[in-house]
Amino acid sequence: MAKDVKKNNNLKNILKEAGAATVWDRYEAQLPQCGFGQLGLCCKNCNLGPCRIDPFGEGAQVGVCGADADTISARNFARHVAAGSACHSDHGREIAQTLLLVGEGKAPSYDIKSPEKLRMIAVEYGIDPNKDIKELAKLVATKMLEEFGKQKEKITFLKRAPKKQQEIWDKLKISPVGIDRPIVEVMSRTNVGVDNDYKNITLGAMKAALADGWGGSMIATEATDILFGSPKAIRAKVNLGVLKEDEVNIIIHGHVPLLSDVIVTAAQDDEMIKLAKEKGAKGITLSGVCCTANEILMRRGVQVAGNFLQQELAIATGAVEAMVVDLQCIMPGLTKVASCFHTKLISTHPKAKFPGMTHIEFIEEKAMEIAKGIVKTAVENYPNRDKSKVTIPKETMDLVAGFTPENIFYYLGGKFRATYRPLNDGIISGRLRGIAGIVGCDNPKLESGQAHVTMVKELLRNDVLVVQTGCAALACAQDGLLVPEAAEKYAGEGLREICNTVGIPPVLHLGSCVDNSRILIACSNIVKEGGLGNGIDEFPVAGAAIEWMSEKATAIGLYFIASGVPVVLGTPLPVTGAKKMTKFLTEEMESLCGGKWVFEPDPIKAAQFMIGHMDKKREALKLKPAMYKPRLVKV
């Protein structure tokens, strides 16, 4: 059964009455979902098939080619990871390409908002950082783009990882050479009759995942910071209540901020606001959904309408003039929902078109012109709004976003003593038990966002500092966990002391899905600061994407695991019909790289696993146990 946790039920009913299904309805209609698919036992990699393995051991145990359950599930899993890595990495490539255009003076709508970061990255690529800023942008972007096609050398940012992790990857032969190549390699070796050893296939997938985390995603993060500015802690509001009854509402949805950032500027243009007033609105309200929301939230303070599962509900408010989408996590079901209202759906990316949407193609060279055209289309749609259909929920919540591995130095150590020392000392002394990364999507199979909230509250009361990205961060933000005041309400004594001293929330918003790379960097910085072992696998850190849904989440999970961090999923990977493969992923992998997958649907048990893992790591480092008893809070 879908778990809709009673959130926004009014809007769901409105859609039902209008004859448009929501993601919850469509999920129900799919039940029972295919057991072979769930167990990872079906294969259609060649035209001898499709084949499926009988999970009860009575029917066929191998496909027509002879592949068994372990080979089939490993191949399927590897292809998921490759697709996820490809998605993030392509995102990174696009931002780097725009950076190159800026360096060449061909993209006048953009600027270098963070020259400091540009210089920092230039040094890492061996470029003289004192060159003219445009020239530097060109050189750095060229180096970034070269990373994708490298044929001999390892990708540059691997050097950011602790030496121990680099040695493990070399030993396992999974250090990625180039970003595209390991992805192509997965597709090649999972073809019929190529790689048939489930462990070897999985190692190939790990290489593709590392190319994502330490390559494509990291480039996406760094190039976005260079172009649009490194985030700073910023307060904003979240939830559907950010939509305004008397203003033109434009929602931006997707992942790549190249257009959305320019739309933010276009929507503030006097000419556009004047036009909105002429059409009878008081102004223009811009808000975001999914990771585009995270990108423009943390750099421009733009409010967030909602997470993945709220995209259809936003339209059901009847108050959205236009939803502008780029790519990733955009439900094709939106078109049916929008057809019940006046909302214009505008696709903008050549790689992501939707039957039923208006396509206005985005070109970097003409970004502002296109952005203004889109805003104008939305404004002109305002008179078509049927006021009798407007139902905007009242709920909003404050959040603080915009933490990065660079600025957290300052929050922790002060401007003149910028250092991770207080954080490491907090862990060493036991004030903090450890750090948890709670990331990923929201999913009706679990609790539509609430599983994140329950898990995070359990971690906070046990003095675990939580870092978040993606829709998980937005779900917790809606519950009021991303404000400094949440420390008083939910944190254990040790975490509360630290949050109150430095004025940070107990849950730190680190950005979008590609910004999981920031968590990797933060982990590396903690190891470099000293006192907590020699590798990411040695200190008390764990991750979870309990409500995962996208293939991108499998890539993210696997690069954390390959980097030494165990990762909890609420619904298992589709491999559990293959016994040896499941054992490899959930047990044996730990001895190879320090991380492993854990499948646990109960958010409290999932949090307890993470806490237990942190305690084990503390013991191995001969640290004192956590200083305080867990806080007694009813979750």
Footprint on this chain of ligand SF4 (rule: CB under 6 A): 43-46, 48-51, 63-65, 67, 72, 192
Task: Decide if 620 contacts 538 (C-beta within 8 A).
Answer: yes
Residue 509 engages ligand MSK in binding (rule: CB under 6 A): no
Give dist(CA 535, CA 526) in Å, integer: 9
State which residue, 45 or 310, has the beta carbon closest to ligand SF4.
45
Which entry of ligand MSK, ligand SF4, none binds 64, CB below 5 to 8 A by partner kind? ligand SF4
Q: Smallest distance from the beta carbon of 60 to ligand SF4, in angstroms?
A: 10
User: Of these partners, ligand MSK, ligand SF4, none, which one is at the site of residue 315 (CB under 5 to 8 Å by kind)?
Assistant: none
CA 356 from chain centre, in angstroms, equals 27
Chosen from ligand SF4, ligand MSK, none, partner binding at 67 (C-beta under 5 to 8 Å by type):
ligand SF4
Q: Before 405, cis peptide (omega within 30)?
A: no
Residue 440 contact, options ligand SF4, ligand MSK, none, Cβ 5-8 Å cut-off depending on partner type: ligand MSK
When the beta carbons of 46 and 187 are compared against ligand SF4, the nearer one is: 46
Could you tell which of ligand MSK, ligand SF4, none binds residue 470, using a CB distance below 5 to 8 A set by kind? ligand MSK
How is residue 33 written in tokens? 């979902």
The interface partner of residue 477, options being ligand SF4, ligand MSK, none and the CB cut-off 5 to 8 Å by kind, is none
Cβ closest to ligand MSK, residue 457 vs residue 552: 552
Interaction partner, residue 51 (ligand MSK, ligand SF4, none; CB < 5-8 Å by kind): ligand SF4
CB of 241 to ligand MSK, least distance (A): 20
Both tokens assigned to 350: 């050549």
Map tokens 């999985």 to a residue. Answer: 202
| Beta carbons of 525 and 420 less than 8 angstroms apart | yes
Cβ-based nearer residue to ligand SF4, 90 or 195: 195
Q: Measure Cα distances from 626 to 13, 196, 462, 500, 519 in Å.
A: 47, 45, 9, 18, 22
Residue 524 DSSP SS3: helix
By a kind-dependent CB cut-off of 5 to 8 A, residue 308 interacts, out of ligand SF4, ligand MSK, none, with ligand MSK
Instruction: List, in order, residues 6 or more apart from 85 with CB less than 8 Å away.
Output: 182, 183, 208, 209, 211, 212, 216, 555
- State which residue, 195 or 547, has the beta carbon closest to ligand MSK: 547
Contact of residue 45 among ligand SF4, ligand MSK, none (CB under 5-8 Å per partner type) = ligand SF4
Whether the CB-CB separation of 318 and 391 falls below 8 Å is answered with: yes
Question: How many CA atoms does the CB half-sphere of 615 hold within 13 Å?
Answer: 14
Q: How far is the CB of 203 from ligand MSK (least distance, A)?
A: 24
- Peptide bond before 32: cis, by omega within 30 degrees of 0? yes
Residue 431 binds which one of ligand SF4, ligand MSK, none, with CB within 5 to 8 A depending on kind? none
Contact call for residue 83 and ligand MSK (CB under 6 A): no
DSSP readout, 593-624?
Answer: HS--EEE---HHHHHHHHHHHHHHHHHHTTPP
Q: Report in angstroms how near the CB of residue 354 gets to ligand MSK at its nearest.
A: 16
Q: Which of 15, 86, 211, 290 binds ligand MSK (CB under 6 A)?
A: 290
Q: b or e along 103-121 (b: 16 or more beta carbons within 10 Å of the residue's beta carbon)? A: beeebebbebbbeebbbbb
Answer yes or no whether residue 574 interacts with ligand MSK by CB under 6 A. Answer: no
Q: How far is the CB of 44 from ligand SF4 (least distance, A)?
A: 5
Smallest gap from residue 52 Cβ to ligand SF4 (A): 9
* 209 counts as binding ligand MSK under rule CB under 6 A: no
Report d(CA 450, CA 444) in Å as an integer: 10
**552 interacts with ligand MSK by CB under 6 A:** yes
Q: In the range 28-47, which residues lie near ligand MSK by CB under 6 A?
A: none
User: Should residue 441 be labelled a site residue for ligand MSK when binding is judged by CB under 6 A?
Assistant: yes
Q: Are 43 and 72 in contact (CB under 8 A)?
A: yes
Rounded Cα gap, residues 185 and 197, in angstroms = 15
Interaction partner, residue 471 (ligand MSK, ligand SF4, none; CB < 5-8 Å by kind): ligand MSK
Q: Which of 544, 541, 510, 566 is nearest to 433 (CA)?
A: 541
H/E element, 273 = helix 270-278
Report the C-alpha gap between 595 and 597 in whole angstroms: 7
Residue 443 within binding range of ligand MSK, rule CB under 6 A: no
> How many residues of this chain bind ligand MSK (CB under 6 A)?
13
User: Smaller CB distance to ligand MSK: residue 88 or 143?
Assistant: 88
Least distance to ligand SF4 from the beta carbon of 68, Å?
9
**Positions 303 through 342 that interact with ligand MSK (CB under 6 A):** 308, 329
Q: Please identify, using beta-carbon distances, which residue of 63 and 533 lies nearer to ligand SF4.
A: 63
Of 311 and 586, the one with the shorter C-beta distance to ligand MSK is 311
Read off the tokens for 396.
């909003």
Query: How big is the chain by its Cα radius of gyration, in Å?
Result: 24
| Cα→Cα distances 372→107, 345, 376, 378, Å | 16, 16, 6, 10
Q: Does 22 contact ligand MSK by CB under 6 A?
A: no
Least distance from ligand MSK to the Cβ atom of residue 551, Å: 9
CB of 183 to ligand MSK, least distance (A): 17
Binder to ligand MSK among 470, 506, 557, 566 (CB under 6 A)?
470
Cα–Cα distances (Å) from 282 to 274, 275, 411, 482, in that order, read: 9, 10, 38, 30
DSSP letter assigned to residue 536: G
Question: What are the residues binding ligand MSK (CB under 6 A)?
Answer: 255, 290-291, 308, 329, 440-441, 470-471, 512-513, 550, 552
